[in-house]
Amino acid sequence: MRFPVLRRKPPVELRKEVLEEMTLLRERTPDVSGSVACTVDGIQIACDLEGDRGEQTAALSAALLAMSRRMLTMTGHGALEETLISGTAGFVAFYAAGPTIVLTVLAKPGANVGLLRLEGRKTAAGLAAVAARRH
């Protein structure tokens, strides 16, 4: 299945709306330490991370989304909802935000994973709505 992709830097208006959604996620979920939104081909749209890791995170996020979707297709387990990675220093969750955006959310150790999943999906749906309005 092919999805439309944004091949150039996203417009300023889209980046601003996406960052607003990501800021709301951080406000609603105290365990969230940052997030990145990118296109499915790895172009960063917005970044709410400390440091200079946005571009690398965007590229890896797109690759992980593609692998996760392929695994689900191969195994017949339906459409992707999320990919959650649990590490010794916290969590990283990836969400398909419609057909063109990937949302990556970082959470602190001991985070309420249920709340992370709920709010991550909610934010991904918001990003998908923003992208749909912009196309």
How much is the pLDDT for 133? 85
Joined tokens for residue 127: 């990003």
Confidence check: pLDDT of 26 > 60 = yes
pTM of the model: 0.88
Query: 3 in a domain, yes or no?
Result: no
Confidence check: pLDDT of 68 > 80 = yes
Query: 73 in a domain, yes or no?
Result: yes
pLDDT tens digits, one per residue of 44-67: 999 998 888 899 999 999 999 999
Count CB neighbours of 20 within 10 A.
13
As a whole number of angstroms, the distance between CA 68 and CA 45 comes to 21
Residue 5's pLDDT band (cuts 50, 70, 90)? very low
- Overall number of domains in the chain: 1
CA 73 to chain CA mean position, Å: 20
pLDDT tens digits, one per residue of 69-111: 999 999 999 999 899 999 999 999 999 999 999 999 999 999 9
Residue 58: its H or E element: helix 54-75
Query: 2 in a domain, yes or no?
Result: no
Question: What range does the domain containing 33 cover?
Answer: 27-134
Query: 1 in a domain, yes or no?
Result: no
How much is the pLDDT for 134? 72
Confidence check: pLDDT of 3 > 50 = no
As a whole number of angstroms, the distance between CA 28 and CA 23 comes to 9
**Backbone torsion region of residue 51, taken as left when φ is above 0, otherwise alpha when ψ lies between -120 and 50, otherwise beta:** left
φ/ψ of 10, rounded to 5, equals -65, 150
Assign residue 83 the CATH number of its domain.
3.30.450.30
Confidence check: pLDDT of 4 > 90 = no
As a whole number of angstroms, the distance between CA 59 and CA 44 comes to 8
How much of the chain, in percent, has pLDDT values that exceed 90?
79
As a whole number of angstroms, the distance between CA 90 and CA 107 comes to 6
Residues 74, 63, 79: CA angle, nearest 5 degrees: 40
